[in-house]
Amino acid sequence: MGAVRSPLDDARALCQLWLERHLQRYAPRYQKPTWSDLYVHRREVDAWLIDTGTARSDEPKLTGTALDTLAEREAELRAELAERAAESPTTLDELADAFGATDPLLVDALRVLLLAEVEPEFARSMCHAWCDFTKKQPDVGFLVELLARTNDDQERLAGAFARLEHPLFRLGIIEVDVTPPQTTSLPRPLVHRPVRLAERPRDWLLGLTAPPVEAPWALSTEERSLESVLVADEARAQLTAAFRRGLAGAHVLVHGPPGSGRRSICQAAANAVGRPVLTLELPPEPGPHDNRGALIAFFREARLQRAVPVITEAQHLENTARLDALSQALAAHAGPLFFTATQRPSALLVKFPGIAEVRMPHPTPEQQRRLWLAALPDAVFSDTFTVDDLVQRYALTGGAIQQIAQSLDVPKRRGRALQLTPAVVLPAIRDHLGHRLGSVANAVLRGFAWSDLVVPEKTATGLKELVSFVRNRDKITGDWGFGRKLAYGRGVACLFFGPPGTGKTMAASIMGTELAMEVFQIDLSRIVDKYIGETEKNLGRVFDEGARAQAILLFDEADSLFGKRTQVTSSVDRYANLEVNFLLQRVETYDGICILTSNNPDHIDDAFKRRIRFKVEFPFPNAAERERLFRSMMPPEAPLGRDVSFAELAARFEVPGAHVKNIILRGAAMAAAEAGVMTMDVLCRAGNREYVEMGKLVRD
């Protein structure tokens, strides 16, 4: 089969015959004694017909058998065009096939509407045919008269334009104006309804087949096989069954963490049947690209491209108006449709209960190892830093590994082997894990070590157990099978509780250092909103960005957000409980580390407590621990007086670690302004001032 060609020549040749037949059949309409300027004269039409070769100046005038002659010429022309289409189809042939236009009358209607859009002389000749130069568009009545040769043809074509059930109408190829005219509220009669070819199909028929640059969707022709996507065998079997249903016309939802291969598996499934994918990414908030008309245009483009449509970020389909618009658009789309989402979109599944659901699991450590080696085939690891060290420190998805590897590949392109060291790899990983958490959270300073944390042995043991679990959770939940026994997934939720200033935030910082993860303290002032639903949206963004950044989320003073649900006595109580329910759901599904700190753990909702695997108490320090705090927080370079007794300071000032730090800093400031030495007197005066600010009584 040859290259695809333009349909204009074929359309022009047929339309000339049809127009000739129309003028012959309805000749009495044009027998007027005088001509108005509102009409196109017959002589102008004849001149166009002669100029294009349809009519000959030496041919006899049409007689009673002229319609039969035209029918014979049309049959010969159609046979000739069919032979030509077999060797080299036109874009119109391809469009008709893609939209299931098997009725020749509808295909002929497309030819007429296309030529009316681009052929000025044909447009003027139509004005003559309908005896009205003021009318600019064909209507249903004219198309029926022009194309129907029998009563059955007329009934079939008029019925198609009356019902508007064919995909050509439902997906916006042919537009029929059914709105009442300005002079009346009554609907237009069927024969008077204007008809036109939509702009995008017109451009496609004229050869502009690539998706418009300004369109919100993207066409991907990348070739990918199902075997190239690393998933477990049981997940692959589930995917294969779901996509088999999807390509047969069902809808498929693929959800999983960012970079888990959701888009890749959709691409591979489409490639398996020789089709590309057309992707529409939904923004977090409703916009002009996800209303009914825009979604229909998306499905129409997918048909034009012979592509499988994919709607990504489907977790944003929680708005009722969005779901209604999608439902209306899907009524016009009878083919396959894939959704991808980072979280399971419950509202979508309730709206469309027949969706085949597929969960993309986080890659196992062995799969991550294979992904790293495949992404960096020529890289050289050292004996002290191996690919297993990367897998142990960072639980990354395939997409993340691929992007990080691409950023590391610069030396290789210059002809040098890529030496992988922590100094090369770790900054690239942190750069990739860049995020937008800064808009709702503050980074916690890292750099503290275990030696900086002065807590009882029980507290230190609990923290180290927590770090050990996080480091080995892939082995525990995957290799050892405990993941099937855990009710709330791979996520780690922990509660640090105790009086203020006892080291809870410092402990979170140390965890970040030990696990090579960023720690972000959630800023509640930027989360809680007085408007209904806004707090949930902000919290949703926190967990989404936290998952993307693989950060530790620190909720300080957690009882203000995770407080106990109350009995509903007003609408305020109901919406407050909704916020707690939403938090409960997100903590359950969050795959990362979530740390809650509280001074009053009894105020936290019981449902949260049941889901918290690790609870670590930070008690008020005793005298021996306060002495260690004073010693550890005093830098060796400080000008310390010989009379300073840390044991006496610890006995005199019963304060937690945060206030110990304040006393030392106050003492340093006072010493710098006075004698330049931090004596016992200076530190005692600093401690007394701290006591006053704390609201405590000062000893003599």
Q: DSSP letters of 8-24?
A: HHHHHHHHHHHHHHHHH
283-297, 321-335, 585-599: which is most confident: 321-335
Higher pLDDT, 454 or 29: 454
Structure tokens at 435: 């995020």
Say whether pLDDT at 56 is over 70.
Answer: no
CB 656 within 8 Å of CB 499: yes
- Output phi, psi for 303, to 5 deg: -65, -45
Give the C-alpha separation, 80 to 489, whole Å: 66
Structure tokens at 649: 């300071």
C-alpha to C-alpha distances, 28 to 15, 23, 118, 131, nearest whole angstrom: 21, 9, 29, 12
Averaged pLDDT, 636-649:
88
Query: What's the confidence (pLDDT) of residue 156?
Result: 95
What's the pLDDT band for 55 if we cut at 50, 70, 90? very low
CB 92 within 8 Å of CB 168: no
Structure tokens at 110: 């497309």
Give the C-alpha separation, 91 to 359, whole Å: 39
Structure tokens at 28: 């009495």
Say whether pLDDT at 6 is over 60.
Answer: yes
What are residue 175's DSSP bridge partners? 196
Pairing of strands 217-220, 277-281: antiparallel
Q: How far is CA 306 from the centre of its chain?
A: 22
Contacts of 351 (CB under 8 A, 6+ apart): 323, 326, 327
Structure tokens at 688: 């007394």
Residue type present at position 575: Y
What's the pLDDT band for 573 if we cut at 50, 70, 90? very low
Helix ranges (DSSP H) in 60-150: 66-87, 91-98, 104-118, 120-129, 140-147
Query: What's the confidence (pLDDT) of residue 59?
Result: 43
Averaged pLDDT, 345-368:
84
Give the C-alpha separation, 288 to 310, whole Å: 18
The tens digit of pLDDT for each residue in 129-151 reads 887 777 889 999 999 999 998 99
- The angle formed by the CA atoms of residues 92, 93 and 95, to the nearest 5 degrees, is 60
Contacts of 273 (CB under 8 A, 6+ apart): 247
- 494, 491, 557: which is closest to 524 by C-alpha? 557
What's the pLDDT band for 545 if we cut at 50, 70, 90? confident
Query: What's the confidence (pLDDT) of residue 571?
Result: 43
The answer to which of 37-51, 288-302, 351-365 has the lowest mean pLDDT is 37-51
Higher pLDDT, 190 or 538: 190
Say whether pLDDT at 657 is over 90.
Answer: no
Domains of the chain, first to last: 8-205 (no CATH), 217-359 (3.40.50.300), 365-432 (1.10.8), 442-617 (3.40.50.300), 623-694 (1.10.8.60)
* Percent of the chain clearing pLDDT 70 (strictly above): 84
- Taking the complete model, does pTM exceed 0.75, yes or no? no
Structure tokens at 357: 């659901």
Task: DSSP letter for 493, please.
Answer: E
Q: How far is CA 50 from the centre of its chain?
A: 57
Averaged pLDDT, 565-575:
45
User: 3-state class of 675 per DSSP?
Assistant: coil
Q: Mean pLDDT for the chain?
A: 82
Averaged pLDDT, 335-361:
87
User: 3-state class of 52 per DSSP?
Assistant: coil
- The angle formed by the CA atoms of residues 391, 396 and 398, to the nearest 5 degrees, is 110
For the chain, what is the radius of gyration of the CA atoms? Answer: 37
Say whether pLDDT at 448 is over 50.
Answer: yes
CA torsion angle 183 185 189 194 (round to 10): 60
